[in-house]
Structure 1
Amino acid sequence: MDAAQTIRERIADVTALRQHRTGDPGLGAAVGQVKTLQARRFRGTYADLMASPSFGPAAKFFLEELYSDYDYTARDQQFSRIAGTLQTMFPAAVVDTAVALAVLHAQTEALDHAMGLAWPAAAGSPTDSISGPATATARNDTTDAARYVAAWRAVGDRAAREQQLQRVLAMGTDLARLTRTPGLRMMLRMMRAPAHAAGMGDLQQFLEAGFDTFGQLARQRGGVEQFLATIEARERALMAELFDADRVTCETQLARTLGQAR
């Protein structure tokens, strides 16, 4: 399967899920809540990296492009519309990265959709994991955490979660590799106007932001490796808790993380 066909098929998968949610506003709201919680969780888990002069830009890029609750409909429409043109305008390495982004995006959307389907039943989960006095905000975090854990465990599919993480890490590695391609940054800059004229503005923005962010990180000795190793270690620890830890312990830890994002 060539790059254009892969991109079109994965974006079609995402579009079908969005249309399903359009016809079911309750499901759409549930998926929106899942995405918002996941973005908050990322900010809490990586509060130290977000505040770091060295790793802050890369953490922000991951949050905005891979873990965000942002509506990517415009970028997806561009992807689908110009999938064939992509192969003629960009170098092969850039095309490969665009394909990887489309595949990761489709998998993430499918998992979020599944979480949304499980969300209503998860509302009845126990929420008494905080003992003693608690503020309304803390209680809300505990309720959200309990519901998220219940939905996560209802969906299961550990293999898909592992694959999703590997694809996120590979995306960072690919972007770092692109920064070592001679002349590519200049090429991206020169393509800015043609890309916008061709309706590829959002994709162009993603490539430039990724290139600049990981280019800065790559100039620090071991920076990319340290950043991605931190992401991998923390995400694997989180997945182990969500799948295997005592429910109350898991809810308490997740609620604490959500609180750190406020």
Structure 2
Amino acid sequence: MPPDTISAGPEALRSHLETLRDLRGRDASAGPPPRLAELKRWQSDRLARTYTDLSAQPRYRQATTFFLEDLYGPKDFSARDAEMLRIYPLLVRTLPATAVETASLAIEVDALSESLDRRTSEALPPGPIHEASYARAYRAASTPAERERQIELIAAVGERLDRLVKKPMVYRTLKLMRTPARLAGLADLQTFLERGFASFREMDGAEEFLATIAARERAIAKALFSSQVPFSA
């Protein structure tokens, strides 16, 4: 799905933040699924192995780190998301519309990934996680359409960032927002956007990088749903 056909904007951002709040709000009384942290560590290690070649290239090093840690990794953004939802009206008035749209897509990735991770962790068979046990849980907990949506959203965030970094005025405006964002309680969001901008500026064109990620993740998803083990790309 091209990024322009994906709904992104203030209302979408609020909806995705509320989804994350509802998902993580269950932890207040019952706690997160017992194996969620274990699953996220395992997936993070898998991603690092899959993209070792990209992280070794100076052109793609920063973008790979951003992808693995900020967009598709195990980092817990619950405090950031709670603050964004609390001051949502101020947020959409303060940040440029393009930044709000990019943030909306990133939050949707986070919400979808959180839901998929929780379901997958609950479907894991007893014992340590390995490729075969992960593959069984992956198939039991998700559909091809959901996994394709996840990949599309990741590509959409990257494509938005790639377009934005080519507009000097947007980048200057974002940097000028540092102090207002900190005072408004949006320092984490500001850091996320700046890290994304910096990494994509360093690449000087993200087409190959994003195509590589999409191709590998689709190949892995296809292998997993086809019961192919090992599935590493």
> TM-score of the superposition, structure 2-length normalised?
0.90
Q: Quick one: which amino acid aligns to residue 167 of structure 1?
A: L
Matched, 1:177 2:156: no
* Matching residue within 8, 15, 36 for 2:14: 8
* Shift of residue 8, structure 1, vs aligned partner: 2.6
Tell me the distance in 2 between the aligned counterparts of 1:33 and 1:50.
24
Q: Give the alignment of 1:238-249 within 5 angstroms.
A: 238-246=220-228
Structure-2 residue corresponding to 1:34 = 39
Q: Quick one: which amino acid aligns to residue 216 of structure 2?
A: R
* Matching residue within 164, 181, 185 for 1:195: 181
Identity value in percent = 36
* Matching residue within 201, 219, 225 for 2:207: 225
Give structure 1 regions of 4+ aligned residues with deviation exceeding 4 angstroms. Answer: none
CA offset digits 1:117-162 (Å, max 9, x no partner) = 212xx227xxxxxxxxxxxxxxx6xx52222111001113110100
Tell me the distance in 1 between the aligned counterparts of 2:198 and 2:221.
30
* Matching residue within 76, 93, 96 for 1:91: 96
Matched, 1:144 2:146: no
Structure-2 residue corresponding to 1:133 = none
* Shift of residue 24, structure 1, vs aligned partner: 3.4
Q: Quick one: which amino acid aligns to residue 123 of structure 1?
A: P
Aligned length: 227
Structure-2 residue corresponding to 1:131 = none
**Could you tell me whether the CA contact under 8 Å between 1:152 and 1:242 is conserved in 2?**
yes
CA offset digits 1:172-196 (Å, max 9, x no partner) = 0001111122322221221101110
Structure-2 residue corresponding to 1:47 = 52
Matched, 1:164 2:150: yes
**Could you tell me whether the CA contact under 8 Å between 2:9 and 2:97 is conserved in 1?**
no
* Shift of residue 209, structure 1, vs aligned partner: 0.7
Point out the structure with max Rg over C-alpha. 1
Q: Give the alignment of 1:102-121 within 5 angstroms.
A: 102-119=107-124
* Shift of residue 31, structure 1, vs aligned partner: 1.4
Tell me the distance in 2 between the aligned counterparts of 1:195 and 1:58.
23
Matched, 1:123 2:95: no
* Matching residue within 62, 67, 73 for 1:62: 67
Tell me the distance in 2 between the aligned counterparts of 1:62 and 1:29.
26
Q: Quick one: which amino acid aligns to residue 81 of structure 2?
A: D
CA offset digits 1:21-71 (Å, max 9, x no partner) = 44334x533111121111111001001111111111111100011222111
Range with greater deviation from structure 2 (6-15 or 167-176):
6-15
Tell me the distance in 2 between the aligned counterparts of 1:200 and 1:230.
32
Q: Quick one: which amino acid aligns to residue 45 of structure 1?
A: T
Tell me the distance in 1 between the aligned counterparts of 2:26 and 2:159.
33
Tell me the distance in 1 between the aligned counterparts of 2:119 and 2:28.
15
> TM-score of the superposition, structure 1-length normalised?
0.80
SS in 1 for 2:130: helix
Distance 1:91 1:62, change over 3 A: same
Extract unaligned runs of 5+ from structure 2.
1-6
* Shift of residue 17, structure 1, vs aligned partner: 1.7
Q: Quick one: which amino acid aligns to residue 23 of structure 1?
A: S
* Shift of residue 245, structure 1, vs aligned partner: 3.8
**Could you tell me whether the CA contact under 8 Å between 2:224 and 2:231 is conserved in 1?**
no
Matched, 1:24 2:30: yes
Tell me the distance in 2 between the aligned counterparts of 1:45 and 1:240.
15
**Could you tell me whether the CA contact under 8 Å between 1:22 and 1:28 is conserved in 2?**
no
